Amino acid sequence: MPKCMLWTLLLIGAGCGAPARLNPKAVLHQHRGAQMLAHDRLDEAEAEFTLALEYNPHYADAENGMGLIAFRRGDPHEAVECFRRALLHNEDHAEANSNFGVVLLTWEDYEEAERAFRAALAVDPGFTHARYNLAFTLLRLGQLEQAHAELRRVVALAPKMAEARAELGCLLLHINRRAAAGRELHQALILDPGLAAAHRCTARLSRQGGDLVHAEAEARLALRYDPSDAAALFELALTLTLSGRGVEAERELTALVRRRPRFAVARFVLGHLLRGAGRTARARQQLERAVALRPAYPEAQLELADLLRDTNDEDGAREHYMLFLKRVPLDLLEHRARVVQWLGKTDASPDRSR
């Protein structure tokens, strides 16, 4: 799945959109604060932004800077309050709107995040990171056509932005536009050879085209650059299985689980592999451990629910299907309708179960 540009975006905010008739000393301290923030000197940045606000209490840029500091310190609630104050002082502050949207993304409040990013783009249509995060949000909401259009605009604004080309390529692959996907993924890897998402989707493209050797190599590259990439690990296991090397895939995953017993992704992929091999009891054990380690894991919730359904544990299946429906990722959108249909047949619609 794509990743929103949280950290990059949160470093570029402080410094634009200052209202008229500011005290020159406030502007000086705000600029110094932005420089300190860019070098990760948070205490010094806080002091500078505080001085700017003492000179001008309604200085939106300085409030935005304080919000960035709060977020970097791991206090998203305080960050939101700062961004809201910035927007009270200047509702057309593009950076504050966009940064507010980033925090909402971390809370998985996608509808409000979309509104925040659109507000930022209404002020500055060329705000590349806000547009990229809008595309990410639309993907989460399942609005694929709009996400595709926004990613195209991001690439037009920033043709050398490898992340945008990679996510565009992955989306094109998802909607079966393989040739176009291959072009975007190739370009992404020229721009950034270490981009895990581009390698992962290239692996999928190669697997679908029957080139399992290249698919395996690309999946392993994706995992080298991002060992936590769940989709890449899944892609590798699937490729090995299709190559007649399911035992090798199981051995690698079992070894990984032993090395990293709290790595939910490895347990999920191993559970999927075991279920496919008909080893239901072990599969259930791994999948239950995966969702215990990481409850907000829709892929594992769906796999476990399907297993429980197939073993006639309707109550267990219902519980995990409902958890799956709380956050359906792009790659699993096609399963949503059949899950809702099954819940309806068992007289447990999502609305009644909440």
Predicted confidence (pLDDT) per residue in 46-92, tens digit? 999 999 999 999 999 999 999 999 999 999 999 999 999 999 999 99
CB 286 within 8 A of CB 271: yes
Residue 20: partners with Cβ closer than 8 Å, 6 or more residues away: none
The pLDDT, as a whole number, for residue 9 is 38
Task: Report the pLDDT averaged over residues 277-293.
Answer: 96
Averaged confidence pLDDT in the chain: 91
Same fold, 1-140 and 273-354: yes
Task: Report the pLDDT averaged over residues 315-341.
Answer: 92
Task: Name the region of 15 (left: φ>0; alpha: ψ -120 to 50; beta: rest).
Answer: left
Distance CA 223, CA 232 (A): 6
The pLDDT, as a whole number, for residue 125 is 97
Q: Euclidean distance between the first and final Cα of the chain, in Å?
A: 27
Distance CA 253, CA 215 (A): 18
Q: Is the pLDDT of residue 239 over 60?
A: yes
Q: Is the pLDDT of residue 151 over 80?
A: yes
The pLDDT, as a whole number, for residue 140 is 87
CB 236 within 8 A of CB 249: yes
> Which of 48-57, 73-82, 110-119, 136-145 shows the lowest mean pLDDT across its residues?
136-145
Q: 131 or 354: whose pLDDT is higher?
A: 131
**What pLDDT digit, counting tens, does each position of 82-98 carry?**
999 999 999 999 999 99
Assign domain 1-140 to a CATH class. Answer: mainly alpha
CB 51 within 8 A of CB 32: no
The CATH number of the structural domain formed by 273-354 is 1.25.40.10
pTM: 0.80
**What pLDDT digit, counting tens, does each position of 5-35 carry?**
443 334 344 444 445 578 999 999 999 999 9
What's the DSSP call for residue 124? -
- Domain limits, the chain: 1-140, 273-354
Q: 16 or 198: whose pLDDT is higher?
A: 198
Geometric angle at alpha carbon 57, from 51 and 59, rounded to 5°: 85
The pLDDT, as a whole number, for residue 12 is 41
